[in-house]
């Protein structure tokens, strides 16, 4: 199993870059689906799963991709990324909720939208850079 290491130019090899792109697109898609399920009325059993995913994993997974830039290749790397993702998600959820509460604007709907925005902002630059590699920023 080859380890995903950036080349001298800072990009991943072909298969690793494609996997990273698909992971980013999957994160964005899962965030959009979870946000839609949470904001639609009367989807009670599915809302619990979507709420757990959005508050406990998705924002942290997107932020972990920014903090840990290489794709995990070993089981220990994947476990580390999952633990970091859960920790970052819970911290982001608490920070978002407390920030909205401090501004006297708290509602669970606003918290959901803010967490979805954090996930999108953390994922989009990486997805766009890997999709269009010639558009690299300095």
- Residues 53-82: pLDDT tens digits? 999 999 999 999 888 867 677 777 888 889
Residues 136, 98: Cα–Cα separation, whole Å: 35
* Residue 7 pLDDT grade (very low, low, confident, very high; cuts 50, 70, 90): very low
Nearest to residue 90, comparing CAs of 120, 115, 122, 121?
115
Phi, psi of 5 (to 5 degrees): -115, 135
Phi, psi of 60 (to 5 degrees): -70, -35
pLDDT given at position 131: 62
- Residues 77-111: pLDDT tens digits? 888 889 999 999 999 999 999 999 999 999 999 99
pLDDT given at position 13: 62
pLDDT given at position 99: 96
Write down the mean pLDDT value for the chain: 82
pLDDT given at position 15: 67
**Coil, helix or strand at residue 105:** coil
**Coil, helix or strand at residue 126:** helix
pLDDT given at position 119: 95
pLDDT at 133 over 50: yes
> Which three-class secondary structure string do you get for 32-86?
HHHHHHHHCCCCHHHHHHHHHHHHHCHHHHHHHHHHCCCCCCCHHHHHHHHHHHH
Q: Are 35 and 116 in contact (CB under 8 A)?
A: yes
pLDDT at 26 over 80: yes
């Amino acid at each position: 199993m080859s380890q995903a290491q950036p080349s001298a130019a800072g990009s991943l090899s072909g298969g690793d870059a494609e996997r990273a792109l698909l992971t980013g697109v999957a994160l964005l898609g899962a965030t959009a689906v979870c946000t839609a399920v949470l904001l639609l009325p009367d989807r009670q059993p599915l809302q619990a799963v979507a709420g757990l995913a959005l508050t406990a994993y998705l924002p942290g997974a997107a932020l972990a991709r920014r903090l840990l830039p290489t794709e995990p290749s070993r089981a220990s790397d994947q476990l580390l990324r999952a633990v970091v993702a859960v920790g970052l998600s819970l911290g982001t959820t608490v920070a978002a909720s407390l920030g909205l509460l401090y501004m006297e604007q708290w509602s669970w709907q606003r918290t959901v939208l803010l967490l979805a925005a954090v996930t999108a902002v953390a994922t989009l630059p990486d997805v766009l850079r890997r999709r269009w590699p010639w558009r690299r920023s300095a």
